[in-house]
């Protein structure tokens, strides 16, 4: 046994030695190989770089796409600005020769423990190389390249030159590259005028600009800023009193309309998309000479800008997007906010109902547009949802529930299909959910994080596209500096709903335009429109408002709201709907009608059964028109039952006798039957809308008289029934029953 243990220990040691030797050999060999990599001095010192972006007509766009346009000399910065970055990023910057060996060893140990390359121990010099020469992937090869190039950097540039280049190239979020750009964006001032706390805010952000954004994550940002101040005190760069004074100050920003518009421009959205498609940074796109060819339409962009501008709400952010249904390309995009709108998720309110609830229920053959559903007080566990008006309307059709955006029916329908089923359909439309999103509040848009406007609008393109979905894109294709195509947008459509289900949902949303919450669009006749509004509200006011509208050619989404969740008087998607109307009114569309699939049909349903029993059944052949209505169905979900009303021709329940020289007619009338009375074949009287026993007296001028009754279901002539009485004039009350005849 001891011998076996000894052999195992020796084997483990030998394997360990071999592994260490192999790794050391591999690292040394590759490190030596990477010594030959060239150092590009121009990328380190270039004060200005840009990305060329082209419209759908291959015309170069005029938006600002410059990076590092404002270069800041190190000598112009205050000492506390420089020291803030050094204290938090690289305390030994002026002591090491590019690599901090102690930090590297510590990081390697932590990485081995975790089994991942989580820590890089990068110095300022290494970060500069990574941001100008290499990709952001976390691999040993990239790290070796970084180390080799960093040594070259330190040999060819002074520490101050390295720090200056670093501060002018580092990313601060919100399209800000370089400290001058960031200072002007966040504080509307030159970097040379940054205060101590402002310098620490910027220094704290660069580790993770999104996580430590002063706009979207102010609490994280302030905590990080205060950490930088504490590190500066430890390093003896500021006093304890200066640290405490600065830490007690709130975050203050000064973001101008110019910077907001640049941040949310079509070009910036295209750049952001390109960085994800190519897994790189905007800086690398500029350095690599990449050209972005987009779906941008100048005329549509201008029309959308004007439409949003005409409906501005003081104090609110806003955004609008136009997606071409056929190509899934984004033709126009407008936004005004202190942050990138497309990086922000908001609760979608009632706009989620067609995507998560009603279209899935149509596709599962659980409902039809005519299905009756009871709007009533509802309690599911501890959840007691309400309608916006705090009232309940009783039974209504699915179409009425959607077009008037009534909440209770949406929750009931979601309960019919199940939350998981609804979410599965929505996920196929690229809408994502948090694991906590598992309650019926989802039917009303109650999500933990929500969706962004692009994804929400893209999801609605599934309806005009016959149930097929593909995500939207700003970019058609990307070329490199040699004009070689490195990316091409090829929409991969997938079937989410049957064609008939998509059309039925479209038909319902068209009713929203005709007489529902989007009726402001009803006077537009240039194309068929389908629309859904949504409002996120609290007891003290509303915080988000949407309108998502589509026609056969394109889908438009508009949002008004505020990240701070400050209540406003926006209601029922009023402002977004007005903006959509202003945009659509300027457009000329070739395709004006939605295509009707062959799997769609119409049928007559019985309104008496619908009103009395709240069920949808087919009308009988003898049913009067006034008791029938035309309903639209999928051929896969037609009612099977035929109404028991009017299954036969109308029955005449009447008696007629002579009395004191008069014909006395007693009729048991039915309200839905129309009776015409004839005396000797001459029309005498018509009875309509009568219910119960009716007595009619007719004078007898001849010794013999024929009284005839014709009965029809109201408004119908095809189901006529007759009954006649041959009477002999008499002074007695005898009933001449032996002479009565039937004619049917």
pLDDT confidence tier of residue 636, bands split at 50, 70 and 90: very high
Q: Which residues pair with 49 in a beta bridge?
A: 67
Reported as a single tens digit per residue, the pLDDT across 649-689 is 888 999 999 988 899 999 999 888 889 999 999 999 999 98
Confidence of residue 110 (pLDDT cuts 50, 70, 90): low
Q: For residue 508, what are the β-bridge partners?
A: none
Which residues have a Cβ under 8 Å from the Cβ of 94 and sit 6 or more positions away? 86, 159
Q: Would you list the DSSP string of 106-172?
A: HHHHHHHHHTS-------HHHHHHHHHHS-----HHHHHHHHHHHHHHHHHS-HHHHHHHHHHH-B-
pLDDT surpassing 90 at residue 625:
no
Interatomic CA distance for residues 589 and 190, integer angstroms: 48
Which residues, 6+ apart, have CB-to-CB distance to 403 below 8 Å?
Answer: 508, 509, 511, 512, 514, 515, 516, 517
pLDDT of residue 137: 64
How far apart, in Å, are the Cα atoms of 584 and each of 245, 533, 588? 54, 16, 8
Tokens of 44: 């380190």
Q: Which of 14-28, 552-566, 726-740 has the highest mean pLDDT?
A: 552-566
**Domain ranges across the chain:** 1-34, 40-260, 320-584, 600-637, 654-743
654-743 is classed CATH 3.30.300.160:
no
> Tens digits of per-residue pLDDT, 18-48?
544 545 454 455 445 556 677 877 777 765 6
In the predicted structure, residue 617 carries a pLDDT above the cut 80: yes
Lowest mean pLDDT among 149-153, 210-214, 511-515: 149-153
CA dihedral 392, 396, 402, 407 (to 10 degrees): 30
Token output for 113: 């423990």
Sign of CA dihedral 96, 98, 101, 106: positive
**Tens digits of residue pLDDT in 251-297:** 998 887 766 677 889 999 999 999 999 998 887 888 788 999 999 99
Express as a percent the part of the chain with pLDDT over 90: 61
pLDDT at 357: 98
Mean pLDDT, residues 153-173 taken together: 89
Q: What is the pLDDT of residues 344-389, one digit of tens each?
A: 999 999 999 999 999 999 999 999 999 999 999 998 888 888 888 8
Cα–Cα distance measured from residue 479 to residue 595, given in angstroms and rounded to the nearest whole number: 37
Q: Residue 53 has what pLDDT?
A: 93
pLDDT, one tens digit per residue, over 482-510 is 999 999 999 999 999 999 999 999 999 99
Pairing of strands 541-550, 530-538: antiparallel
pTM score of the predicted model: 0.77
When mean pLDDT is compared over 211-220, 278-287, 533-542, 709-718, the highest value belongs to: 211-220
CATH number assigned to the domain with residue range 320-584, chosen from the 4 options 3.60.20.30, 3.40.50.2300, 3.40.710.10, 2.40.160.20: 3.40.710.10
Least confident of 497-501, 646-650, 732-736: 732-736
The dotted CATH code for 40-260 is 1.10.3810.10
d(CA 101, CA 94): 14
Report the chain's mean pLDDT, rounded to a whole number: 87
**pLDDT above 70 for 173:** yes
Element (H, E) at 455: helix 453-460
Q: Is the pLDDT of residue 118 over 70?
A: no
Q: Which of 75, 173, 74, 76 is nearest to 124 (CA)?
A: 74
């Amino acid at each position: 046994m001891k011998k076996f243990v000894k052999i195992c220990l020796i084997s483990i040691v030998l394997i360990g030695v071999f592994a260490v030797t192999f790794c050391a050999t591999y690292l040394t060999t590759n490190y030596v190989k990477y010594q030959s990599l060239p150092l590009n001095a121009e990328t380190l010192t270039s004060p200005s770089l840009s990305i060329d972006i082209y419209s759908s007509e291959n015309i170069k766009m005029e938006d600002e796409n410059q990076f590092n346009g404002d270069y800041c000399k190190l000598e112009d910065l205050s000492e506390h600005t420089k020291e803030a970055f050094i204290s938090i990023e690289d305390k030994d910057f002026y002591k090491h020769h590019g690599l901090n060996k102690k930090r590297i060893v510590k990081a390697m140990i932590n990485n081995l423990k975790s089994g991942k390359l989580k820590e890089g121990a990068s110095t300022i010099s290494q970060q500069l190389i990574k941001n100008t020469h290499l990709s952001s992937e976390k691999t040993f090869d990239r790290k070796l390249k970084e180390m080799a190039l960093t040594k070259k950097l330190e040999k060819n540039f002074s520490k101050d030159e390295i720090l200056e280049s670093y501060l002018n190239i580092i990313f601060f979020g919100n399209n800000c590259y370089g400290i001058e750009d960031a200072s002007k964006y966040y504080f509307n001032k030159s970097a040379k005028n940054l205060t101590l706390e402002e310098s620490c805010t910027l220094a704290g952000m660069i580790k993770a600009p999104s996580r430590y954004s002063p706009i979207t994550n102010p609490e994280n940002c302030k905590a990080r800023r205060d950490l930088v101040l504490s590190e500066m005190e430890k390093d003896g760069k500021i006093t304890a009193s200066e640290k405490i004074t600065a830490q007690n100050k709130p975050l203050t920003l000064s973001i101008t309309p110019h910077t907001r518009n640049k941040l949310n421009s079509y070009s910036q959205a295209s750049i952001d998309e390109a960085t994800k498609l190519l897994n790189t940074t905007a800086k690398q796109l500029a350095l690599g000479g990449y050209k972005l060819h987009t779906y941008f339409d100048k005329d549509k962009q201008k029309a959308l800008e004007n439409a949003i501008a005409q409906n501005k709400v003081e104090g609110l952010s806003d955004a609008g997007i136009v997606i071409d249904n056929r190509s899934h390309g984004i033709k126009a995009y407008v936004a005004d906010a202190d942050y990138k709108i497309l990086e922000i998720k908001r609760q979608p309110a009632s706009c989620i109902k067609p995507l998560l609830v009603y279209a899935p229920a149509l596709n599962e053959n659980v409902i039809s547009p005519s299905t009756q559903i009871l709007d009533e007080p509802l309690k599911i566990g501890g959840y007691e949802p309400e309608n916006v008006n705090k009232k309940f309307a009783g039974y209504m059709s699915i179409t009425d529930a959607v077009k008037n955006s009534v909440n209770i029916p949406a929750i009931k329908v979601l309960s019919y299909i199940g939350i998981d089923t609804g979410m599965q359909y929505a996920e196929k439309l690229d809408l994502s959910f948090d694991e906590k999103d598992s309650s019926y509040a989802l039917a009303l848009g109650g999500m933990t994080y929500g969706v962004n406007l692009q994804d929400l609008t893209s999801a609605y393109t599934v309806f005009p596209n016959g149930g097929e979905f593909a995500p939207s894109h700003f970019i058609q294709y990307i070329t490199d500096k040699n004009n070689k195509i490195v990316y091409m947008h090829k929409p991969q459509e997938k079937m989410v709903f049957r064609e008939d289900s998509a059309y039925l949902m479209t038909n319902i949303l068209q009713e929203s335009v005709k007489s529902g919450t989007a009726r402001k669009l009803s006077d537009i006749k240039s194309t068929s429109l389908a629309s859904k509004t949504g409002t996120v509200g609290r007891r003290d006011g509303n915080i988000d408002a949407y309108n998502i509208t589509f026609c056969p050619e394109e889908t438009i989404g508009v949002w008004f709201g505020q990240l701070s969740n400050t209540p406003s008087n926006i209601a029922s998607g009023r402002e977004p709907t007005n903006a959509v109307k202003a945009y659509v009114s300027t457009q000329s569309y070739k395709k004006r009608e939605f295509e009707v699939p062959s799997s769609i049909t119409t049928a007559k349903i019985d309104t008496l059964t619908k009103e009395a029993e709240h069920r949808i059944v087919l009308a009988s052949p003898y049913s009067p028109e006034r008791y029938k209505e035309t309903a639209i169905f999928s051929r896969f979900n037609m009612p099977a039952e035929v109404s028991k009303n009017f299954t036969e021709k109308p029955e005449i329940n009447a008696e007629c006798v002579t009395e004191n020289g008069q014909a006395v007619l007693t009729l048991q009338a039915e309200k839905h039957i129309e009776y015409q009375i004839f005396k000797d074949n001459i029309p005498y009287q018509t009875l309509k809308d009568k219910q119960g026993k009716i007595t009619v007296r007719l004078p007898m001028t001849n010794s013999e008289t024929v009284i005839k009754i014709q009965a029809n279901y109201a408004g119908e002539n095809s189901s006529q029934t007759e009954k006649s009485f041959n009477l002999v004039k008499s002074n007695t009350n005898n009933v001449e029953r032996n002479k009565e005849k039937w004619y049917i």
